[in-house]
């Protein structure tokens, strides 16, 4: 890991990493980043004080005055260079993400690939920030709308996608002409510093002020500064529903804008007409991939009674063969949870669901000794439930899969929708009527609804996000860019008269 850190220009890891940048300041308490893979200390970082925060905001406000004047396609060209810089650093950054977060190396590299993809998307977008033109009801008048940058965008991100979610926001915001301040998860600060170094080099090469990309490291307090700050017109926050409620309320109380990407409780419905050959890998990847720590992880499996026993038996067999261990070893299927607090949540959730009548089919074990010395490895667990108890309705960020039996598709859809969250959903069926019913207005109430594809693993081209307690925000593709801009309607009179709208007369 030392070589990886050196290649990513992360120095002085034991004294509190420093970069010499004003857009990333830290003079506060020391924060240590430990790897959940083996429990080793990776490095120490100084957290931002309120004074540091003020410096970063000032830099950002100064930079905005310059950046908003740069033509959008030119901003796109700089984002293209950022994509190239990420390509050049993909191997090392992917390794750091894997080691600091605990996801597999494939997923670490995949996360960097997602950053590269969103750069490409943003470059094209920089020439497509379209507004509409309308026909004015008044003679010799022209009416149209245009989109202007908003200003300073605050980005609060979660530990499970330590870098990709930031890039979904930042790359779009940058081509839109905004400047960004990133508050990464306090559990993955080094991955964020590595990104900041990569981006700053590109900004320097283009003579762009460093305040275009600011970074503030710290715990929730630092996130609260952003949420409360009237100088930050948009706060995009990814994380738990608890966090989203706090940030959403703080931003709303000052009438700012928030974009919330919160918890999910995603289900797959498997009908009697499903192709079980593709169901099984989709469920296993969705439920145990990233050790159940994706917002789109499959947490509930709603099975038609005719195939229930068959699917259940196949899953239990596969779960018994899963290899759990160091995620950097490509032979392993399941890595660690992020920390021992997450392990405690796993244990407590299983205890509670048992008390609610759930039957454990496999799993329910914290692994120890040998390769598991970090204390963060658990066995993926399957629990059979007869109804959606409070624990089933709750998002536990761990590999716990609940099996639920149904008779009719109406009943299955009601179960799928019967939780507070609304992020991702899927149906497996070869019957077009069932598929269309699931996708229709009375079907899935989620932001993402798939047919014959599992719940996790979205592409950047679509708008990503969900309803209800998932927060309602949309990021990444489609027209999500509009979140980062303000709309202005312009009416231009090129006549010699001053006609009023709606034919109103006002003679003086």
How far, in Å, are 16, 116, 199 from residue 8 at the CA level?
16, 17, 11
Residue 240 in contact with ligand NAD, rule: CB under 6 A: yes
Of all residues in the shown chain, the one whose CB is closest to ligand NAD is: 223
261 given a catalytic annotation = yes
What tokens does 86 get? 């990420």
- Give the Cα separation of 226 and 233 in Å (integer): 10
Residue 291 in contact with ligand NAD, rule: CB under 6 A: no
Q: Which is nearer to ligand NAD, 228 or 371 (CB)?
A: 228
Residue 435 in contact with ligand NAD, rule: CB under 6 A: no
Instruction: Find out whether 100 and 191 touch, Cβ atoms under 8 Å.
Output: yes
Please choose, out of 103-111, 223-231, 268-276, 400-408, the segment that lies near ligand NAD by the rule CB under 6 A. 223-231
Instruction: Find out whether 487 and 131 touch, Cβ atoms under 8 Å.
Output: yes
| Beta-carbon count within 10 A of 92 CB | 20
Closest contact distance (angstroms) between CB of 5 and ligand NAD is 22
Q: Phi, psi at residue 360, to the nearest 5°?
A: -75, 125
Q: Which is nearer to ligand NAD, 83 or 264 (CB)?
A: 264
Q: Which is nearer to ligand NAD, 157 or 388 (CB)?
A: 157
Please choose, out of 54-62, 124-132, 220-228, 485-493, the segment that lies near ligand NAD by the rule CB under 6 A. 220-228
397, 402, 428, 481: which one contacts ligand NAD (CB under 6 A)? 397
How far, in Å, are 4, 130, 396 from residue 384 at the CA level?
43, 50, 16
Q: Which is nearer to ligand NAD, 246 or 439 (CB)?
A: 246
> Cα angle at 120 between 114 and 124, to 5 degrees?
140
What tokens does 439 get? 């996708």
Q: Which is nearer to ligand NAD, 138 or 220 (CB)?
A: 220
Instruction: Find out whether 177 and 75 touch, Cβ atoms under 8 Å.
Output: yes
- Give the Cα separation of 285 and 287 in Å (integer): 6
Instruction: Find out whether 455 and 427 touch, Cβ atoms under 8 Å.
Output: no
Residue 53 in contact with ligand NAD, rule: CB under 6 A: no
10 Å CB burial of residue 67 (0-12, 13-18, 19+) is: buried
# binding residues, ligand NAD (CB under 6 A): 30
Please choose, out of 104-112, 146-154, 222-230, 317-325, the segment that lies near ligand NAD by the rule CB under 6 A. 222-230
Residue 256 in contact with ligand NAD, rule: CB under 6 A: no
Residue 395 in contact with ligand NAD, rule: CB under 6 A: yes
Q: Which residues have a Cβ under 8 Å from the Cβ of 59 and sit 6 or more positions away?
A: 22, 23, 209, 210, 211, 214
Closest contact distance (angstroms) between CB of 259 and ligand NAD is 10
Binding mask 358-377 for ligand NAD (x = CB under 6 A): --------------------
Binding mask 140-169 for ligand NAD (x = CB under 6 A): ----------------xxxxxx---x----
Residue 300 in contact with ligand NAD, rule: CB under 6 A: no
Please choose, out of 239-247, 276-284, 310-318, 487-495, the segment that lies near ligand NAD by the rule CB under 6 A. 239-247
Binding mask 468-487 for ligand NAD (x = CB under 6 A): --x-----------------
- C-alpha 468, offset from chain centre: 16
- Give the Cα separation of 255 and 258 in Å (integer): 9
Instruction: Find out whether 266 and 298 touch, Cβ atoms under 8 Å.
Output: yes
The H-assigned helical ranges of 68-187 are 72-88, 90-101, 105-125, 164-175
Closest contact distance (angstroms) between CB of 220 and ligand NAD is 4
Residue 229 in contact with ligand NAD, rule: CB under 6 A: no
> Tokens 């993402």, residue?
448
Q: Given phi > 0 = left and psi -120 to 50 = alpha, else beta, which region is 457?
A: left
Residue 118 in contact with ligand NAD, rule: CB under 6 A: no
- C-alpha 489, offset from chain centre: 32
Q: Which of 261, 395, 434, 475 is catalytic?
A: 261
What tokens does 24 get? 């990333």
Please choose, out of 120-128, 199-207, 240-248, 494-502, the segment that lies near ligand NAD by the rule CB under 6 A. 240-248
- Residues marked as catalytic: 261
The residues binding ligand NAD (CB under 6 A) are 156-161, 165, 183, 185-186, 219-220, 223-224, 227, 238-240, 243, 246-247, 261-264, 295, 395, 397, 423, 470
């Amino acid at each position: 890991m030392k070589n990886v850190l050196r290649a990513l220009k992360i120095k002085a890891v034991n004294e509190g990493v420093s970069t010499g940048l004003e857009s990333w300041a830290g003079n506060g308490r020391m924060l240590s980043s430990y790897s959940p893979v083996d429990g080793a200390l990776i490095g120490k970082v100084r957290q931002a004080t309120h004074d540091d925060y003020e410096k970063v905001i000032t830099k950002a406000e100064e930079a905005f005055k310059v950046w908003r004047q740069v033509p959008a396609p030119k901003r796109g060209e700089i984002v293209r260079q950022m994509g190239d810089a990420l390509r050049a650093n993909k191997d090392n950054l992917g390794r750091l993400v894997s080691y600091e977060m605990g996801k597999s190396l494939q997923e670490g590299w995949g996360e960097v690939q997602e950053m590269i993809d969103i750069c490409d998307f943003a470059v094209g977008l920089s020439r497509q920030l379209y507004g509409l033109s309308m026909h004015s009801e008044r003679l010799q008048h022209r009416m149209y709308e245009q989109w202007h940058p908003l200003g300073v965008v605050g980005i609060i991100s979660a530990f499970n996608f330590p870098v990709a979610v930031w890039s979904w926001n930042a790359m779009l915001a940058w081509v839109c002409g905004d400047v960004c301040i990133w508050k990464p998860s306090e559990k993955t600060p080094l991955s964020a510093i590595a990104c900041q170094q990569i981006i700053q080099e590109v900004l320097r090469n283009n003579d762009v002020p460093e305040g275009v990309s600011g970074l503030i490291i710290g715990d929730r307090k630092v996130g609260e500064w952003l949420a409360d700050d009237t100088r930050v017109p948009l706060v995009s926050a990814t994380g738990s529903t608890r966090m989203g409620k706090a940030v959403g309320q703080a931003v709303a109380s000052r009438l700012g804008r928030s974009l919330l990407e919160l918890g999910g409780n995603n289900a797959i419905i498997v009908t009697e007409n499903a192709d079980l050959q593709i169901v099984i890998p989709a469920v296993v990847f969705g439920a145990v991939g990233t050790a159940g720590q994706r917002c789109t992880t499959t947490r509930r499996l709603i099975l038609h009674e005719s195939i229930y026993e068959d699917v259940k038996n196949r899953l239990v067999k596969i779960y018994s063969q899963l290899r759990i261990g160091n995620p950097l070893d490509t032979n392993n299927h399941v890595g660690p949870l992020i920390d021992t607090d997450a392990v405690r949540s796993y244990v407590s959730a299983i205890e509670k669901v048992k008390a609610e009548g759930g039957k454990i089919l496999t799993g329910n074990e914290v692994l120890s000794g040998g390769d598991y010395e970090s204390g963060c490895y658990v066995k993926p667990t399957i629990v059979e439930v007869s109804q959606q108890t409070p624990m089933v309705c709750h998002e536990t960020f761990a590999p716990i899969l609940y099996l639920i039996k149904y008779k009719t598709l109406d009943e299955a859809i009601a179960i799928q929708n019967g939780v507070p969250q609304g992020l991702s959903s899927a149906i497996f069926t070869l019957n077009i009527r069932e598929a269309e019913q699931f996708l229709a207005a009375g079907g899935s109430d989620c932001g993402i609804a798939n047919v014959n594809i599992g719940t996790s693993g979205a592409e950047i081209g679509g708008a990503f996000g969900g309803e209800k307690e998932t927060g309602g925000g949309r990021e990444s593709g489609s027209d999500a860019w509009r979140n980062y801009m303000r709309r202005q309607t312009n009416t231009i009179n090129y006549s010699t008269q001053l006609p009023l709208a709606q034919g109103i007369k006002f003679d003086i």
